[in-house]
Amino acid sequence: FPVTIGSGSDEFNEEIGNSLYSFTAVFKPEYISKILPSNYKVEISKQKISKFSSDTVTYWIAIEAHSTF
């Protein structure tokens, strides 16, 4: 599924996995930049919240309002 970090000219897009659903999740760079390097299971909610979890840490990160689901 596509993930967008930032907006406008500061935008970075990355395809990070597969999903049965079509959506685009947009994150603020300052939130994503704080994540420690690891392998994460990523869960995305229509309520505009995401969960990044690994064996040692879990992050709950807000998704921007202009994300599409």
Residues sharing a CB contact under 8 Å with residue 17, sequence separation 6 or more, in sequence order: 1, 42
Strand 12-15: give its sheet, edge to edge: 12-15, 2-5, 25-27
Strand 58-62: give its sheet, edge to edge: 41-45, 49-53, 58-62
- Continuous H helices in the chain: 29-32
What pLDDT, in 10s, does the model give residues 1-43? 555 555 665 666 666 677 787 788 888 888 888 889 898 888 9
pTM: 0.73
**Inter-residue contact 36 to 22 (CB < 8 Å):** no
